[in-house]
Amino acid sequence: MSVASKDSVPPPLAPPLTTALDRLALGCRILEKEGHACRTLGHASLRDPDGRGLWIKRWGISFGETRDAADFVLIDFDGRRLGGADRAPSEWPIHAGVLKKRPDIAVVVHSHPFYGRVFSAATEPLRPVSNSGNWFPSPPPRFETTSELIRDPALGDAIGDCLGDNFAIFLRNHGVVFCGRSIEQAVLMGIQLEEACREHLLIAASGLAWDYPGDEERARKFSASGTTLTVSFDHFARELDGGLPPPRKD
């Protein structure tokens, strides 16, 4: 299903929504720097606070080029454009599928980080080599139905089902999807997921015997992972020259 063409007046953005989308744009730039860059591929979305659907990064720009609220388009859960930027990415069903299945989730991201997409080809579970792997209550599941682009709403719904109560999922031979109850949580989930994949791949290739924490220890670590979300997010923002967006060229 394709997104409907522009046929309505964009709804006005309330100041809190503008602030949230500006912060999500900042999160996109952080993800670009932290290993999630893949040309213009990948997108992030925010659940619309008024229940109209979701705001998703517009088609044709990279995470690093996402500057502010003007770079997001509002669509409903059937992909119809309601306002904002002029075009949504074709894989919007990923975001709709997760947000429909998980009312606790506010932000969804799909990306193609190097280590994440390599690990998406593995059939064994992701194990917590260090603390990065403990950001997930259990090993992220693997969506195995297809490695193709997720343009069919039924596939998006299936991803939401496969995700379950997790905060990340591998799309086999494709990439990753991660989410959070806040912008900060979603961005940190993406950063930690890429670190965990890199660590697992490196130690597996080393030939060394190795081990990982048991379920109880892992659960304790996961419960403590959310205590520094804002502090960590702001740290990454400061690394982006104070979190200022690049100057507009238009």
Provide the residue ranges of all domains of the chain, joining segments of one domain with +: 20-240
How do residues 188-236 score in pLDDT, each as one tens digit? 999 999 999 999 999 999 999 999 988 888 888 888 777 789 999 999 9
Q: What is the pLDDT of residue 243?
A: 54
Evaluate whether 51 touches 128 at the Cβ level (below 8 Å): no
CA distances from 5 to 1, 87, 197 (A): 12, 8, 39
Q: What is the pLDDT of residue 5?
A: 42
Helix (H, G, I), strand (E, B) or coil at 58: coil
Chain length of the chain = 250
Q: What is the pLDDT of residue 223?
A: 81
Q: What is the pLDDT of residue 6?
A: 43
Q: What is the pLDDT of residue 208?
A: 97
100 has pLDDT over 50:
yes
Residue 2 or 120, more confident: 120
Q: What is the pLDDT of residue 250?
A: 57
Cβ within 8 Å of residue 49, ≥6 positions away? 16, 17, 20
- Summarize the confidence of residues 136-147 as an average pLDDT: 95
Q: What is the pLDDT of residue 249?
A: 60
Q: What is the pLDDT of residue 157?
A: 98
How do residues 12-44 score in pLDDT, each as one tens digit? 688 899 999 999 999 999 999 999 999 999 999
CA 140 centroid distance within chain = 13
Query: What integer best gives the mean pLDDT of the chain?
Result: 92
Q: Does domain 20-240 fall into CATH 3.40.50.2000?
A: no
4, two tokens: 């409907």
Q: What is the pLDDT of residue 28?
A: 98
How do residues 56-87 score in pLDDT, each as one tens digit? 999 999 999 999 999 999 999 999 999 999 99
Percent of residues, the chain, with pLDDT higher than 90: 82
First to last CA, the chain: 31
Q: What is the pLDDT of residue 247?
A: 61
Q: How far apart are CA 194 and CA 214, in angstroms?
A: 21
Q: What is the pLDDT of residue 3?
A: 46
Q: How far apart are CA 97 and CA 93, in angstroms?
A: 6
Q: How far apart are CA 210 and CA 152, in angstroms?
A: 41
Q: What is the pLDDT of residue 107?
A: 98
- Summarize the confidence of residues 73-102 as an average pLDDT: 98
β-strand partners of 44:
109
